[in-house]
Structure 1
Amino acid sequence: MQRQHTVLSSSAAASRTSHHALFKPFKPLMPLAHSAIAAATLACCAAAAQTTLPSVDVTEPAERAGLRLQQASTTGTRTGLAVREAPMSMDGVSDLQLQERGDTAVTEAITRTVGLTAAGSPGNGGLAFSSRGFFGANSVGVAEDGVAAGVAAGTISYPSDTWGYERMEVLRGPASLMYGSGTVGATLNAVRKAPSRERTTEVLLAGGTKEAARAGVGATGPLGESASYRIDAYGSQADGDRALSFSQSGKFMGTLRLQPRADLQIDLVADRATQEPARYWGTPGVNGRVAAELAGENYNASDSIIRYEDTRLRAKVQWQASDALTLRNETYYFKTDRHWRNIEAYSFNPAAGTVTRSDYLEILHHLEQTGNNVSAAGRSGAHRWVVGWDAVRSSFTHTNNAPYGGTSTVSAINPVQGTWASPDATLPKYDTSLTQHAVYAEDAWTLAPQWLALVGLRHDAYRYDRQELQAGTRFDKQMGGTSARGGLTYRWDDRTSVYAQVSTGYDPVTALISLNLANRDFQLSRGTQTEVGIKQSIQQGLGEWTLAVFNIDKKNIVTRDPARPSVSVQGGQQSSRGVEWTAVVQATRALRLEGNLALVDAQFDTLLEAGGNRAGNRPANVPRQSANLWAHYRTGAWQLSSGLRHVGQRFADNANSVQLPAYTLWDAAVHYQVSPQATVSLVARNLADRRYVSASYGDNQFLLGQGRRLELAVHWRF
């Protein structure tokens, strides 16, 4: 661990398979064929129940369960283009799909979309994803309503759950034009439910195995003649498969919307959230494999701590100056406090039957971010355009007890956790500030009735200051990046469009807010993507599908100087290419199928590390293939859903010396609509109780995913 809570990598050489292996990954996907059996079983059960259960009409619009190609994009472009028109790959998950599948965590929801896999850990905040061959918070960004919080020490921890969100959207490939640095792989955007003058309320109560319990309330409605509100409150708790795995969280989301005139809208937003995740840092391995006999043990201290707190305030003003011009301004303040105090490294001695514990860490983050965005959007003839200016200032204080001393040895089976104690004092180590200014412009130009061009340009300028609090030294740095996108969409017919695009973006070599002296002289790494694709609706509204083929090259990653191996320089290169397919099909009046498949071939073209040459190796945490398949069968008041999630084999390190095995998980849900207002759901996670490795923590410590879980929930809407 690099003491900033990022995923580790070890050093050993491994050979790379042929590029043609990209198109030979279907054997690991064979378990997905079982979903057909599951769907058939559900259909039979539903048919048997049809004669005895009452019929209740379903009023949910069908398009909310599809790819929503006609819906305006809020994540991929600011010009208001529909997803079908935009020359880029993006999709998402609606609140209806979240309920159907029982997805309560953002990680669960996002990894149902094509090509997104998760490798979150307590050290990176749990929101670390891989997309298109790139992994981690410095390459896959996370935003809420289009605003991304700063990444501190490789960590993102908010938003963690799906309650209060209308949908989760994903824009794949470089997204610096929209969000700035740290987005070469993808950007995830959580879109909030908005206030409405139609009064509605929803209530959720749920309980399940492992002491699981959840409760949520959401309400919206009018306030007087010119205002409306939206509030969402949510809390959850659950235990895990081993000691110290109890987790709990809670949040409040509030929005007040003022509309004093028809052309003026003001939103005031106030949020507060806390999280206490499971205090589990992995199961030690033997020779790069999980020590199965230790799977149910936890070697952390009994008084360990993991806690995240987030406060967010936002004010958004939108003025419709004319039919052709809209002016917007958004001001916001974010504050995040995080606290870790844990024993994080474990070494198993099979002969002695003991585990040696080290890395007694205590780390605290205090992050504040203030920003303002002003933009103008309009129409002029065949052009839909937007111009804007972002100004953001972030301050960060990092406190820790480096060099993280402390060691102990406990029994490998039924260990006595003991308490946390370190000989090293926990002290504030450094303060940083980062000021960012960005100007951007986009233009969607209808060249002809069937042709649309989308072009955009953005420039970011950063100024960084760091004060070492113990040594009293400081340094500053200025850097910048320019990103661009050019795309062309051809409307083949009313149902089909094809597109091509070239886009550029940039990632930091490490989190900008926590840049250290060793990385002071490095500039941003630049990524370039070419992509072609097709988006199509099936006749008679029976479904939608998309296909994207991409190639990304990322240059100036940190490598070693061949002439001076002890010196780190920029000059490394990483590339990836792949295919992504996703579809929703209404197979019959009662049966809907949803599926996606991603095939990715990623490699380091140039990379020297302390342990050797990694050229030709696959980056850590990047699978060659991933896939999802869901079947939903509705009859009368019943809906039965069954889904499979497959993640291919990954490596724990850039040396490709430690493998994380592929896994396939089976989930299922049964929903009964008691009345038009109430639904009862039984959701099963990991129904086959499969033991699998979700991520690694170092090269010989493995984070095991959760076993079988069952939950019974009641959801009211009135």
Structure 2
Amino acid sequence: MKQISRLPFAATIALLCAHGAYAQASHIVTIRASAGDEGLALDRANSTGSRLDISTLELPASAETITAATIAARGDLSVKDAVTRTTGLTDSSSPGSGISYSARGFNGNGSIALLENGQRLLVGSSTATYPSDPWGYETIEVLRGPGSVVHGSGTTGAIINAVRKAPRRESSFEVMGGIGGGQALRAGVGATGALGEQGAFRVDAYAGRSDGFMERGEARHGKVLTSMTTKLAPNVTLSAQLDHAEQEPVRYFGTPLVNGGLSEALRDENYNAGDAVLRYVDDKAVARLDWQAAPGLVVSNELAYFKARRDWRNIESYAYDPVRNVVDRSDYIGIRHDQEQTANRLEARYKGGANQIVAGWEVSTINFRHTNNSPYGGSSTVAPTGFDPGSFNATPDAFRPNFATDTLTHAFYLEDAYRVNERLLITAGARHDRYKVDYQNLRAVTGNFTTTLRSTAVRLGASWKLDPNTSLYGQVSTGSDPVTSILSINLANSRFKLTDARQVEAGVKGVLAGGAAEWTAALYHIEKDDIITRDPNNAAISVLGGSQTSQGAEVSASVRLAQAWRVEGNLAYTKAEFDELLEAGGGGSNISRAGNRPADVPKLSSNLWLTHRAGDWRTSAGLRYVGERFISNANTQTLPSYTTLDASIGWNVKRNVQVQLNLRNLTDRLYAITGYGASQYLLGDERHAELTVHWRY
């Protein structure tokens, strides 16, 4: 679209701003990864698991940190690629959900929260789109299970937090360029340096395009991230950021099954309309004041504004008819989201002696407006290959406003960490969330309502050091998920409260031989109640009363086999099933799903990555395995398991220049990432390569 063309100008501005930083640089930074750039980062604090100064080794929760160096070394070009190399996280994204994951037996953006610098844009209509790529981020943190009392209401499956690169007065500058399969082109710049006598700035800009490895699969993506910090007084610091991101993902809603399976002949086909639209625009502004009120006491206030605009104009459903040898298309769906969120967080952090405490109050207002062309009529038939894609305008339904919600949220949280002695650390936390939602039906004078939802999450944990480098931990925690997206709740669901989840987790973490090996292991048991089910006496009525149990084991390790070799891997086993769930069947009857596994949840998932370094060369290869999943709670149709092989070869041409070749899906495996209904699956990318050049000064 036309607006995306402004992004190269923004990148040029970032480059010009960085020129001064380059001129002031007093040294050259090598791009070789240090030991701290590899491994599980157990020595780092994980801000997603705790807002206190606790290392991941001592944190009584299952947490993981991926550094920017690790992401770059593996050649991962999206946050999704990086996250799904962590333990137990699998991809369930679709064009409707944007970015979506499965973790610990729970799936979707209601159960897995996405944050940027600890801030969460609330989910409307189950869709999350930001952040999508790792450029400009220092780390990506993952907290598994309902263990967070400081970020959101304690989502049941996991929390993912992309942590920004911070402004620094020490000047640095980087440029990245890449070209690859699928006519891919991408470029990024990043710069940081001094701002006046007391401040610092950072600018990161990124733009890319590709053809999506299919017909009419053109995709574009770009963003500009800016931030600054300065001292207003010796004990007062002001920080601010201003961001803009635009995405036009591949306008692809899946490939129809042929005789119940994937067809190699249809791999490159796209059955969407020729004039289809898929576009996300995200804006963000943040201002933060930190006040060192007293020794050991910091008070901060953070004001944030988000704006998201999302557009869909697509033909979304396809079914292959073997008798006629045609593909029938339906669901001409047009949707627009307009979402604005203003949030404020007031927080105090105290550290004195053996005790650390953080307490905070969050308040936000969210305006969400949903426009569509319901009831999404329209149909057409095309040949399996060589067809005219036609136009979305063939839909008979008008595009008009549907509903709007105004949501006011309040949250209070408290977290405490007490070091009993050198070995024992006890943590406790609690959070209370309250959501008041005003719903307005924009198509009728009836159906308006106001509802209030409440949630309280708690966590109690302890870690015990067997020795300075090995910790045993245990925790009990609670959390909650909405029965549907809070911002798009409808009248039928307005009487339902949030679901309740309870978790018991125990594990061990260790560092051996001065960092030559790091490892973690965890066992967990989660129970979730108040899932929407059907009235046993009337299948037409929805009630609360369903329940799910999930239990499993997770292990991860990073081992330096020799001076030049390192192997990293993880394995997650998940046993998830419904204890009680009724779904409507034919003829007004109910069908029990008790004992069934939830959709899009694999029993097994794992990753393995092997790296070899020799002089200025680094060679690595990785396997990703995702086990068989069901496309629905009925468990009658499965998504086949898959294993993909990736590799990368990096050459440090100079101390500050690296060339890297990334190879993806080397075996050219035909596989499905997720289902989009029973007749079509979303396919993973075919085999391809990408060459990148990275300069750092």
TM-score (norm: length of structure 1): 0.91
1:552 pairs with 2:526: yes
CA 1:595–1:262: 2 relative to 1, 3 Å: farther
Match of 1:186 in 2: 158
1:374 pairs with 2:346: yes
Match of 2:23 in 1: none
Q: Is the 8 A contact 1:163 1:216 kept in 2?
A: yes
Deviations 1:551-605 (A, max 9, x none): 1000000001112222110000011100111111111000111110001100011
Q: Is the 8 A contact 1:289 1:700 kept in 2?
A: no
Q: Once the 2 structures are TM-superposed, how far is the Cα of residue 342 of structure 1 from its aligned partner?
A: 0.5
Deviations 1:243-270 (A, max 9, x none): 1211110000000111233432211100
Q: 1:527 aligns with which of 493, 501, 517?
A: 501
1:325 pairs with 2:304: no
Deviations 1:9-57 (A, max 9, x none): xxxxxxxxxxxxxxxxxxxxxxxxxxxxxxxxxxxxxxxxxxxxxxx98
1:260 pairs with 2:232: yes
Could you tell me how far apart the structure 2 residues matched to 1:288 and 1:322 are? 67
Q: Once the 2 structures are TM-superposed, how far is the Cα of residue 513 of structure 1 from its aligned partner?
A: 0.3
Q: In structure 2, the residue corresponding to 1:513 is in which secondary structure? A: helix
Q: In structure 2, the residue corresponding to 1:97 is in which secondary structure? A: helix
Q: 2:673 aligns with which of 694, 697, 704?
A: 694
Q: Once the 2 structures are TM-superposed, how far is the Cα of residue 540 of structure 1 from its aligned partner?
A: 2.8
1:159 pairs with 2:159: no
Deviations 1:637-677 (A, max 9, x none): 10001111000011111101110000000000000001110
Q: Is the 8 A contact 2:31 2:658 kept in 1?
A: no
Write the letter of the residue equivalent to 1:279: R
Aligned length, in residue pairs: 662
Q: 1:86 aligns with which of 59, 63, 75?
A: 59
Q: Once the 2 structures are TM-superposed, how far is the Cα of residue 182 of structure 1 from its aligned partner?
A: 6.6
Q: Once the 2 structures are TM-superposed, how far is the Cα of residue 299 of structure 1 from its aligned partner?
A: 1.1
Alignment of 1:376-455 (within 5 A): 376-420=348-392, 421-455=394-428
Deviations 1:84-105 (A, max 9, x none): 1110000021111111100110
Write the letter of the residue equivalent to 1:480: R
Task: Tell me: higher relative CO, structure 1 or 2? Use CA pairs within 8 A at least 6 residues apart.
Answer: 1
Q: In structure 2, the residue corresponding to 1:75 is in which secondary structure? A: coil
Could you tell me how far apart the structure 2 residues matched to 1:588 and 1:206 are? 32
Match of 1:477 in 2: 451
Could you tell me how far apart the structure 2 residues matched to 1:669 and 1:395 are? 44
CA 1:57–1:251: 2 relative to 1, 3 Å: closer
Could you tell me how far apart the structure 2 residues matched to 1:293 and 1:210 are? 18
Could you tell me how far apart the structure 1 residues matched to 2:229 and 2:430 are? 32
Deviations 1:460-513 (A, max 9, x none): 111001000110231010120111000011011111010000000000000000
1:228 pairs with 2:213: no
1:541 pairs with 2:515: yes
Write the letter of the residue equivalent to 1:66: G
Q: Is the 8 A contact 2:248 2:279 kept in 1?
A: yes
Could you tell me how far apart the structure 1 residues matched to 2:261 and 2:535 are? 33
Q: In structure 1, the residue corresponding to 2:480 is in which secondary structure? A: strand
CA 1:247–1:282: 2 relative to 1, 3 Å: same
Q: In structure 2, the residue corresponding to 1:123 is in which secondary structure? A: coil
Could you tell me how far apart the structure 2 residues matched to 1:288 and 1:603 are? 25
Q: In structure 1, the residue corresponding to 2:81 is in which secondary structure? A: helix
Q: In structure 2, the residue corresponding to 1:497 is in which secondary structure? A: strand
Write the letter of the residue equivalent to 1:570: L
Could you tell me how far apart the structure 2 residues matched to 1:540 and 1:316 are? 38
Q: 1:280 aligns with which of 244, 248, 252?
A: 252
Q: Once the 2 structures are TM-superposed, how far is the Cα of residue 448 of structure 1 from its aligned partner?
A: 2.2
Q: Is the 8 A contact 1:301 1:343 kept in 2?
A: yes
Q: Is the 8 A contact 2:181 2:690 kept in 1?
A: yes
Q: Is the 8 A contact 1:138 1:182 kept in 2?
A: no
1:647 pairs with 2:621: no
Deviations 1:692-711 (A, max 9, x none): 00011012210011101101
Could you tell me how far apart the structure 2 residues matched to 1:503 and 1:372 are? 26
Write the letter of the residue equivalent to 1:694: I
Q: Is the 8 A contact 2:607 2:624 kept in 1?
A: yes
Q: In structure 2, the residue corresponding to 1:100 is in which secondary structure? A: helix
Q: Is the 8 A contact 2:154 2:457 kept in 1?
A: no
Q: Is the 8 A contact 1:57 1:637 kept in 2?
A: no
Deviations 1:180-216 (A, max 9, x none): 2371000000000000000000100110111001100
Query: Mean Cα displacement is larger for which, 350-359 or 173-182?
Result: 173-182
Q: Is the 8 A contact 1:242 1:296 kept in 2?
A: yes
Q: In structure 1, the residue corresponding to 2:44 is in which secondary structure? A: coil
Could you tell me how far apart the structure 1 residues matched to 2:128 and 2:570 are? 26
Query: Mean Cα displacement is larger for which, 345-354 or 622-631?
Result: 345-354
Write the letter of the residue equivalent to 1:607: L
Match of 1:44 in 2: none
Q: In structure 2, the residue corresponding to 1:84 is in which secondary structure? A: coil
Match of 1:208 in 2: 180
Q: Once the 2 structures are TM-superposed, how far is the Cα of residue 287 of structure 1 from its aligned partner?
A: 5.5
Write the letter of the residue equivalent to 1:510: T
Deviations 1:285-344 (A, max 9, x none): 246433443232211100000000000000011112222101111000000000000000
Match of 2:284 in 1: 312
Match of 2:9 in 1: none
Q: Once the 2 structures are TM-superposed, how far is the Cα of residue 433 of structure 1 from its aligned partner?
A: 1.0
CA 1:295–1:479: 2 relative to 1, 3 Å: same
1:567 pairs with 2:546: no
Q: In structure 1, the residue corresponding to 2:82 is in which secondary structure? A: helix
CA RMSD across the alignment = 1.2
1:466 pairs with 2:439: yes
Q: In structure 2, the residue corresponding to 1:412 is in which secondary structure? A: coil
Q: Once the 2 structures are TM-superposed, how far is the Cα of residue 380 of structure 1 from its aligned partner?
A: 3.3
Q: Is the 8 A contact 1:181 1:508 kept in 2?
A: no
Could you tell me how far apart the structure 2 residues matched to 1:435 and 1:61 are? 46
Match of 1:673 in 2: 652
Match of 2:691 in 1: 712
Query: Mean Cα displacement is larger for which, 274-283 or 180-189?
Result: 180-189
Deviations 1:366-406 (A, max 9, x none): 00000000010102332100111000111100000000111
Q: Is the 8 A contact 1:199 1:220 kept in 2?
A: yes
TM-score (norm: length of structure 2): 0.94
Match of 1:197 in 2: 169
Q: Is the 8 A contact 1:582 1:597 kept in 2?
A: yes
Q: In structure 1, the residue corresponding to 2:667 is in which secondary structure? A: coil
1:487 pairs with 2:469: no
Q: Is the 8 A contact 2:48 2:148 kept in 1?
A: no
Deviations 1:612-651 (A, max 9, x none): 2110000000000010011110001100011110000111
Q: Is the 8 A contact 2:153 2:431 kept in 1?
A: no
Query: Mean Cα displacement is larger for which, 301-310 or 85-94?
Result: 85-94
1:589 pairs with 2:563: yes
Alignment of 1:291-302 (within 5 A): 291-302=263-274
CA 1:85–1:182: 2 relative to 1, 3 Å: closer
Match of 1:598 in 2: 572
Q: Once the 2 structures are TM-superposed, how far is the Cα of residue 239 of structure 1 from its aligned partner?
A: 1.3
Match of 1:30 in 2: none
Alignment of 1:59-138 (within 5 A): 59-125=32-98, 127-138=99-110
Deviations 1:397-438 (A, max 9, x none): 000000011111111222210111211110011110111101
Write the letter of the residue equivalent to 1:114: T
Q: 2:641 aligns with which of 662, 678, 684?
A: 662
Could you tell me how far apart the structure 2 residues matched to 1:144 and 1:58 are? 26
Could you tell me how far apart the structure 1 residues matched to 2:187 and 2:268 are? 28
Could you tell me how far apart the structure 2 residues matched to 1:295 and 1:179 are? 40
Query: Mean Cα displacement is larger for which, 427-436 or 316-325?
Result: 316-325
Q: Is the 8 A contact 2:61 2:147 kept in 1?
A: no
Q: Once the 2 structures are TM-superposed, how far is the Cα of residue 158 of structure 1 from its aligned partner?
A: 0.6
